[in-house]
Homo-oligomer: A and B are copies of this chain.
Amino acid sequence: MIDLIDVQAEKPTYTIPVSRVGVRGIKYPVRVKRGDREIDLLTEIDIFVNLPSTRKGADFSRKIEAINEIILARKVVPSIEELSSEIAKKTLEKLNYSTNCDVSISADYLVEKRSPNNAPIIKNYKILGETHSNNNGKKTMVGVVVQGINACPCAMETTRALISKDFPGNDELLSKIPTISHNQRNLVTLKIGVPTGKSVEADELIELAEKVLGGSLYSLLKRIDEGNLVYNAHKNPKFVEDIVREIAILALEKYSDFPDDTKLYIESRSEESIHPHDAFAAIDTDFGEIRRSLKA
């Protein structure tokens, strides 16, 4: 048996606290059991702790041990966000010099659904679970990423005017039919805090996002499904700002019994077809702020 110095436990040369020490992108297979439904996920886990000024190194392998003990020992977890919470708890037990722990987990979430045309299709989401734990307690969030299409309301008015000029005398019809506009993939991220005693299903969040996006993208589209997806996006043209606001409203209605300090993060990224860059909007707030703003 070799006797080794515990280098990390030494006193550091400079007694400065380190805000975050950790690892990103550790991959683990996780089986989620939800009621009588089991799903196998390939998760990516980020895990960070703080390091006090009095210790040289955080023990990286112990953080991984915490993950191992929970994932490999348990085999089945009730949810991604519950897993993040348990890993944060176990990590702080093992690294008793740390007071903060942040755990983020994401996984591709492929779901077999039916196309409007009733063909079996795969929809491709991401699900997210996060726990931020410190002296003041623990906050857990659950989230999803959903891909849809959005058409620009502003460009639609411009092209309507251009077509009207080229085809005079048809303004009444042109004012009624959806006109061409630039449209593009729109990536929505929706995360919500889970209050104690409440629960949030990732599938519910997907439903909210899809309602605002008018559906979500999938690989196989029959021509008529494709036509309707495009048609609907142009009947309801939306800015990224509209998308995040409409999702906020739906989240507020769906979880109307959640308290004011419930965290909410909504992002919409539009891969602008007329620009070489993406456009973003994000609402990063809590339920209370939104409720107050709507009343104002």
Give residues in A with beta carbon < 8 Å to B.
Answer: 2-5, 7-8, 12-29, 40, 42, 48, 51, 53, 56-58, 60-61, 64-65, 67-68, 72, 108, 110, 112, 119-122, 124, 147, 149, 151, 153-155, 157-159, 161-163, 165-167, 170, 173, 176-185, 217-224, 226-231, 234, 239-242, 244-246, 248-249, 271-285, 289-290, 293-294, 296
Q: Are A19 and B167 in contact (CB under 8 A)?
A: no
Given A274-B217, A277-B24, A110 contacting B29 (CB threshold 8 A): yes
> Are B220 and A163 in contact (CB-based, < 8 A)?
no
Given that A182-B183, A280-B23 are known contacts, is A227 also in contact with B155, CB under 8 Å in the complex? yes
| Contacting pair A183 B183 (CB below 8 A) | yes
Q: B residues within 8 A CB of A242? A: 12-13, 56-57
A3 and B155 form a contact (CB under 8 A): no
Instruction: Return chain B residues, CB-CB under 8 Å to A51.
Output: 241, 281
Whether the pair A273, B183 counts as a contact (CB closer than 8 A) is yes
Task: Pick the residue among B14, B58, B112, B245 that contacts A12 (CB under 8 A).
Answer: B245
What CA separation (Å) do A24 and B282 show in the bound complex?
13
Interface majority SS (helix, strand, loop, mixed), chain A: mixed
- Are A27 and B163 interface neighbours, CB within 8 A? no
Q: A4-B158, A157-B4, A158-B4 are in contact. Are A226 and B15 (CB under 8 A)?
A: no
Which residues of chain B are within 8 angstroms of A14 by Cβ–Cβ distance?
245-246, 248-249, 294
Known: A21-B281, A173-B173, A274-B226. A110 touches B42 (CB 8 A): yes
Q: Which residues of B contact A220 (CB under 8 A)?
A: 61, 64-65, 68
In-complex Cβ contact of A163 among B177, B283, B290 (8 A): B177
A157 and B276 contact, Cβ closer than 8 Å, known pairs A110-B29, A293-B53? no
Chain B positions within 8 Å of A53 at CB level: 293, 296
Q: Is there contact, CB below 8 Å, between A179 and B180? A: yes
**Which residue of B is nearest A220, CB measured?**
B64
Shortest Cβ distance from residue A169 to the other chain B in the assembled complex, whole angstroms: 9
Q: Which residue of chain B has its CB nearest to the CB of A244?
A: B18
A226 to B60, CA, bound (A): 12
B274 close to A24 (CB less than 8 A)? no
Residues of chain B lying within 8 A (CB to CB) of residue A25: 277-278
